[in-house]
Amino acid sequence: MFWITLPMPVSLEPFQFVDGVRRVSRHRMNHPMLLRGKQVLTAVSVAFLLALPAHGSERASGKHVSFDEAYKQLIGLSKTDPRPLFVISSAVYADGIAEQSDGKQTVFRELFGTVATLLGDYDTAERVYGLPREPTSLSTRGPLKPIEAIEHLMPKISRARVFFMNESHGIVRTRGALLQWLPRLKAAGFTHLALEAFDTSATMADASNCSSEFRSDPVIESRGYPVLKSGFYTREPVYGAILETALGLGFQIVAYDIDGEDRMRGGAAILACVLDQNDSNRLVLLGGFGNIAETRGARPRDNWTLADWLFELSAVDPLTLSTTTLLGVSPKRIDGVTKPGVPYMLMDSAGNFVRSSLYDHLVFIAPFPGGQQRSIWNVVSPEREVFEIKRPAGWSPGLAFFSATIPDREAGATPSDACVATGDEGCTLFLSPGAYRIDAGHADGSASVFYISVPKVVAD
């Protein structure tokens, strides 16, 4: 067990699932399957769920695969076969995940939870991916007062040249924080947005080249929105909205992942190159968990993070903010009103903020009530309307997927939203007023395409 020693009165004990505490040789969600995102571009896209053969009918027939078979098929998504997603979904929805002692359960949870976000199934993603335990040390600190983070932190962020935020790949409200803050960050003078798992063929030797030619999607700035080939997480609707909003605000996109080993150092070299190009360039970065932690002096160089290497290569010390460290804090521990999906800093009765030695600041983002994690759209894009999608006539009960894309966009555009239905009903999409193409797929192999128009609701 790796213990964290903190200088502030409020300290955090190590967690099971987050940040730099439970270390693996590489970030687990950067399994080669995910790092080389183009290998699974079609495997997890809703578009490829439309032409499924009856292989996925286990859900409807009541036949459920074993954990080992589901695990094997989930890893096999790298073969670009979308059918296992239904088999795995059947195992998760109906039977849960079997306890495993060999570590496969954790990999399965993280990988499936991430895939679930791509389909807009944020409740299943959060349940399967898992939250950290609440730090036991907080139980002796009394009630914690929430302070809305953006107003407190923006003066400090505005003075930074580089601002790092992290996220949990299975808890979408963590990346939603960036979507909320993008307009303020642009107004503060930030020019570039750096993203993880943006598909690139850049090698370590290319890392200092600062060229977009290594990206699979070098024209995203001119297009104005992401497509399936842009990256891996960019296929998730909230992540897609982050990109589209950032592009609309004028941010330049930086793909900081390299193809090969030494990912942290290579990524930092790309970031340093952007900073060296122009003294006015200022970076916002969204990375996973402990990739943004500040650990220089506490770890050997071969285990340094992006923040560590960036300081080494450019002498720029990024301002770091963790949205994941406090995920396990129970809302019952907080003395005050917290709006779900909104980032808050937590202050103890002595007036000290909850701190960590790994990050400059921590925020707590309260969950939505059970079964309502998709309500994050109400926070990050309040202009969207709620639209109930019904199953096509004649469809039987069972697992079904729906995605909404703007019709005049190129094929493979990231969905504006997507949702999963598991019973005999439809599901709810959050969409801005306008026209959309709906692609629907059923576990029995049925497929349907139809169009809808979302009206603007005028308040009384």
Q: What is the pLDDT of residues 222-265, one digit of tens each?
A: 999 999 889 889 989 999 999 999 999 999 999 999 988 899 99
DSSP helix/strand/coil, 393: coil
AA identity, residue 209: N
Residue 146 CB-half CA count within 13 A: 22
> For residues 371 and 368, what is the distance between their CA atoms, to the nearest angstrom?
8
**What is the predicted pLDDT for the residue at 26?**
34
* 38, pLDDT greater than 80: no
The segment with the largest mean pLDDT, out of 48-52, 281-285, 388-392, is 281-285
Q: How many CB atoms lie within 10 A of CB 218?
A: 14
AA identity, residue 70: A
Of the pLDDT bands very low, low, confident and very high (cuts 50, 70, 90), residue 115 is confident
**What is the predicted pLDDT for the residue at 430?**
98
- The percent helix, strand, coil of the chain (3-state, each to 5) is 40, 20, 45
Domains and CATH numbers, the chain: 28-129 (no CATH), 145-365 (3.40.50), 384-454 (2.60.40.3110)
**What is the predicted pLDDT for the residue at 139?**
64
**pLDDT (tens digit per residue) in 333-378:** 899 989 999 999 999 888 999 988 899 999 999 999 988 999 999 9
* 151, pLDDT greater than 50: yes
Between 330 and 317, residue with greater pLDDT: 317
Region 179-188: what's the mean pLDDT?
A: 98
Beta-ladder partners of 296 = 299
**What is the predicted pLDDT for the residue at 459?**
67
> For residues 134 and 307, what is the distance between their CA atoms, to the nearest angstrom?
26
Beta-ladder partners of 447 = 441
Between 47 and 113, residue with greater pLDDT: 113
**What is the predicted pLDDT for the residue at 373?**
96
**What is the predicted pLDDT for the residue at 77?**
60
**What is the predicted pLDDT for the residue at 72?**
72
Tokens encoding 57: 């009918």
**What is the predicted pLDDT for the residue at 447?**
85
**pLDDT (tens digit per residue) in 394-418:** 898 888 889 999 999 998 899 999 9
What number of H helices and E strands is found in the chain? 13, 15
**What is the predicted pLDDT for the residue at 92?**
55
> For residues 354 and 345, what is the distance between their CA atoms, to the nearest angstrom?
7
Residue 460 burial by Cβ neighbours in a 10 Å radius (0-12, 13-18, 19+) = exposed
**What is the predicted pLDDT for the residue at 427?**
93
Task: Check: CB of residue 354 under 8 Å from CB of residue 346.
Answer: yes
233: closest CA among 320, 174, 164?
174
> For residues 275 and 148, what is the distance between their CA atoms, to the nearest angstrom?
30
> For residues 244 and 164, what is the distance between their CA atoms, to the nearest angstrom?
19
15: closest CA among 131, 125, 97?
131
**What is the predicted pLDDT for the residue at 113?**
86
**What is the predicted pLDDT for the residue at 5?**
23
* 51, pLDDT greater than 70: no
Of the pLDDT bands very low, low, confident and very high (cuts 50, 70, 90), residue 133 is confident
Three-state SS sequence of 95-152:
HCCCCCCCCHHHHHHHHHHHHHHHCCCHHHHHHHHCCCCCCHHHHHCCCEEEEEHHHH
**What is the predicted pLDDT for the residue at 388?**
95
Of the pLDDT bands very low, low, confident and very high (cuts 50, 70, 90), residue 443 is confident
AA identity, residue 285: L
Q: Taking all residues of the chain, what is their mean pLDDT, rounded to a whole number? A: 80
